[in-house]
Amino acid sequence: MHTESGRPLRRGAADWMQLGARLLLGGIFVYASLDKIAHPAAFAKDVYNYQILPDVLVHLVALALPWMELFLGLCLITGFWLPGAVLSANGLLLVFVGALAFNAARGLDVHCGCFSTGSEGPALATHWVLLRDGLFLAVALVLFYSVFFARRAAGKTAPLLLAIFWLSAGGSGVAEAGSPAVVVPKPHHDFGTAIEGDLVRHEFVVENRGTAELRIEKLKTGCGCTAASSTRLIPAGGQGTIRVEFKTAGYAGRDIREAVVVHTNDPAAAVLELMLSGRVEAFADIQPKSVLLRAKAGETASAVARILPRPERPFAIRNLRAVKGRDIRFQLAQKSGPSGTVYELTIFSTRKEPGRIADMVVIETDHPARPALQVMVTGVVE
């Protein structure tokens, strides 16, 4: 087959471009799935920190999404079910970019959870993650164009990429006359002592003592456990607030110092830091807080979690219930230990056919400060 000018159609180049995009995108999806599959509980925390899904869907998404990524990655690499895989990959990337952009608009800077779970170690800032995922989406869109439209349009992919990069880059603001002057009278707040599970909230007052409008351009928190939002525009002579929330879950026994970095358009204070500090204590000792059940088909696995009330916060367990209750059962034994009452919660798997287990045991107490505790249950029947 020839073009109108008599030159051969360069279908080989289009094929190589499609293959390269498939291998690149497929490799990214496979790599992104591995750590999440290995650490479902940690990935569930990352999903929860986005503060988008209802709690009942967090564990389901944390379990299903990595396997979907692995499946789509393998389909892209092998070419199996290619149209469906390309369409699904574009849909997932659009959801990822949308979730990141939504949290960026709310002033949240959460751990992405894209390639590794948990918030340990250095994490890319949200705008860099958005740029990176925008590039992945650009590759996916080029692959979508290649699979679903005529290959002769492959020469038009450069303008498509330029348009996507332009949208990802955003625009710059217009300079204002005068100058704002940001002042935070009390940039450090000590919340004292909180019980693990409490949501610590505080509002920092922000004043604009300048002659131009003050813009709070960005808020960056140290981890996904802290969320911040603010009054975005503060007129000259006015004041606004920066609202900070700190989730104490998982921080029992630790002294907390959480920083919120504030970026403004004040040329004299473009970046300033707010500090939230205090002590988090456990309401009760639960060892472990998450149990893992592993069994072969037809067998039963079990695990034990011990609940130790603290002397300063004694309580009795009134009732136990499972959120789903399809794949587990449990029993409770009360014993005496050196420090007082010890409850032993034994959890058994009831699932007989192969598959995954994801549930939560809710422990109802008679203490008004914590009427309910919880133990997460994950597992697999092979």
pLDDT at residue 150 in the model: 44
Last residue of a domain, one of 257, 281, 305: 281
> Rounded distance, CA 151 to CA 15, Å?
9
Q: Two tokens at 301? A: 């696995």
Q: Let me know: does 201 contact 217? Beta carbons within 8 Å.
A: no
Q: Does one domain contain both 84 and 186?
A: no
The residue written with tokens 């505080």 in the block is 202
Q: Does one domain contain both 74 and 142?
A: yes
Residue 57 lies in a domain: yes
Q: Two tokens at 374? A: 């919880």
Q: Does one domain contain both 194 and 71?
A: no
219 CB burial (10 A radius; 0-12, 13-18, 19+) = buried
Residue 1 lies in a domain: no
Residue 51 lies in a domain: yes
98 CB burial (10 A radius; 0-12, 13-18, 19+) = exposed
Q: How far is CA 242 from CA 153, 227, 228, 269, in A?
A: 49, 10, 7, 16
pLDDT at residue 345 in the model: 95
> Rounded distance, CA 254 to CA 286, Å?
16
User: How many domains are contained in the chain?
Assistant: 3
Q: Does one domain contain both 246 and 296?
A: no
Last residue of a domain, one of 109, 141, 169: 169
pLDDT at residue 307 in the model: 93
Q: Does one domain contain both 56 and 17?
A: yes
Question: pLDDT 10s per residue in the chain (382 long)?
Answer: 444 343 444 445 677 888 888 999 999 999 988 988 888 887 877 787 777 888 778 788 888 999 999 999 999 999 888 888 899 999 999 998 888 787 777 666 566 667 766 544 444 556 677 888 889 999 989 888 888 774 444 445 445 545 554 554 444 344 345 899 999 999 999 999 999 888 999 999 999 999 999 999 999 987 767 888 888 999 999 999 999 999 988 788 899 999 999 999 999 999 999 999 999 998 898 999 899 999 999 899 999 999 999 888 899 999 999 999 999 999 999 998 787 889 999 999 999 899 999 999 999 999 988 898 989 999 999 9
Tell me the residue range of the domain where 351 lies: 284-381
Last residue of a domain, one of 281, 306, 324: 281
CATH of the domain at 372: 2.60.40.10
